[in-house]
Amino acid sequence: MKAIVQDRYGGPEHLRLADIPVPEPGKAQIRVRVLACAVNLSDWEYLIGSPLYARLVGGLLRPKHSVLGSDIVGIVDKLGPNTTGFSFGDRVMGDLVMIRGGFAEYVCAPVAQMVRVPDGLSDEVAACLPQAGGIAVAGAEGFKPGDKVLINGAGGGSGTMALQLAKSAGAHVTAVDNASKIDWLRSLGADEIFDFRQQDFTRTGQQWDWILDMVATRGPGRIARALSRGGVYRALGGDVAVLLKLVIGGLRFRLQKKSIGMLMVPSGRKLTEKVAQLAVEGKIAPHLDAVLPLSSVPEALQRTGFGEVKGKLVIRL
């Protein structure tokens, strides 16, 4: 089968299109003929081996899994031994962030991570939902009318869907991203927009009830200045040293009723089903920047890693 293969950590130049054996499903697995696979920031992190947690999960010195790609949509092609819950021909979706393998014609997936795709969703839209949509849903939990919400990295896949959920909850939303996305984010409903290269939201004197940070780069002291009393800050990713400072150093701001920590996303079937239902109901709608062929994976990963994508890129096989 055709696949984009990674033999070492590094940039997109180390990826290659290759023929590799078709995998065989094990117990509690299904083999999926991949129709579409979304590109996530986590794919970029596993490609370059940074931050450190990418290597701790994906292999310390070299990648444990040679094919990237987490959020897949495809057709069940084969069942593993004694595997139940799905049938040959089912159209399924899921997040394979721990094993990856979606940038290939076939992938074997644990049944615990997969759900059937609702009829109302296209392959491309469904591929955007498991990881990015799950992050958005987890991050937006608790938003209510009148809340002041800041989303750092609002122009990415998770950020745009979190923005939608915040607006539907009645919140006032400040979006932070690069200058090329300002007009577009305004069209999505952002009430206020900062170009992160020109403005540091922690130095504006403003405070927010919620801050959802897609890539943390600031310590707890700076974050606390931007949080209102009773405010909540949650970081999704970033350098390990920064995340440790936020988790440990953030404890001292509890007396000020300010909660600083990481966003815990309960990935799996239940969350994917919830995100898919929200998409069917029109409550979230991922923005497709482009749909690209398998050969364009290196370009798609670089654009995602450099923050150049408006919403999501999807690889169509």
CA distance 95 to 158: 14
The model carries a pTM of 0.93
Instruction: For domain 132-262, give the fold.
Output: Rossmann fold (3.40.50)
pLDDT value for 302: 97
CB under 8 Å to 90, separation ≥6 — which residues? Answer: 75, 76, 116
Quick check: 161 and 180 in contact, CB under 8 A? no
pLDDT, averaged across the chain: 95
In the chain, the amino acid numbered 96 is: L
Quick check: 56 and 13 in contact, CB under 8 A? no
The string of pLDDT tens digits covering residues 65-92 is 999 999 999 999 999 998 999 999 999 9
The string of pLDDT tens digits covering residues 111-137 is 999 999 999 999 999 999 999 999 999
Which structure tokens are listed for 261?
């920590």
CA distance 264 to 43: 19
Instruction: For domain 2-128+286-316, give the fold.
Output: Quinone Oxidoreductase; Chain A, domain 1 (3.90.180)
The string of pLDDT tens digits covering residues 166-208 is 999 999 999 999 999 999 999 999 999 999 999 999 999 999 9
The string of pLDDT tens digits covering residues 28-75 is 999 999 999 999 999 999 999 999 889 999 999 999 999 999 999 999
Domains of the chain: which residue ranges?
Answer: 2-128+286-316, 132-262
Banded pLDDT at 267 (limits 50, 70, 90): confident
**Which residue(s) pair with 91 in the sheet?**
75
Q: Which of 39, 31, 2 is nearest to 300 (CA)?
A: 39
* Cβ neighbour number for residue 8 with a 10 Å cutoff: 11
